[in-house]
Amino acid sequence: MESGAILSWTLQQEIAVPADVQDLLTQGEQAVASFKTFRDSATFTTKRLIVRDAQGMTGKKVEIYSLPYSAILMWSSENAGVLDWNSEVELWTKAGHIKIKLAKGADVRRIDSLIAWAVLNSH
C-alpha cells in the first residue's frame, strides 16, 4: 500500500516532556512520552499526538500539529535491517498518510506500542 505522505517527521531519542506542552493540553489530558524531532518535539498524550515544529532562522515561529488518535485508521512499523539503518512508522489517517522516520536512538517498538495503546484505547 504505497501513497505519497502528506507529512513526514523524524523522531530521535525519547526526552522529558517539554514544559510548554502543558499549555497545549485539554482538561483531563496528560502527556505520556516525548521525542526530540529535528528542531522541536513530538509528544504522545492520552488523547493525541502533538508535533511542534519550530520554523525560520530563529525558530520563534512554531507550527503545531495535533493528530487525535481517533483519526488513525491503520499503522505499520518497520525496524532497521542489516543494510537499511532507518526504522519508520507509517500512519494512515482520515486526513491522509503520515510517515514518521526514526533516527538511530529512537526505539521503533516503543513508538509502535505507544500508537497501539493510544489508538486501541481511543475507540
- pLDDT 10s digit of each residue in the chain, 123 long? 445 667 888 899 999 999 889 999 999 999 999 999 988 899 999 999 999 987 777 667 888 999 999 999 999 998 876 555 678 999 999 989 999 999 877 888 999 999 999 999 865
Q: Report the candidate in 73, 69, 27, 20 with the shortest Cα–Cα distance to residue 48.
A: 69
pTM of the model: 0.85
Cell triple for residue 93? 489517517
CA distance linking residue 89 with residue 106, whole number of Å:
11
Give the sign of the dihedral formed by CA 26, CA 115, CA 122, CA 75: positive
The residue extents of the domains of the chain are 7-122
Residue 83's pLDDT is 53
Report which secondary-structure segment, H or E, holds 116.
helix 108-122
- Give the CATH architecture of domain 7-122: Roll (2.30)
Residue 59's pLDDT is 66
CB 52 within 8 Å of CB 62: yes
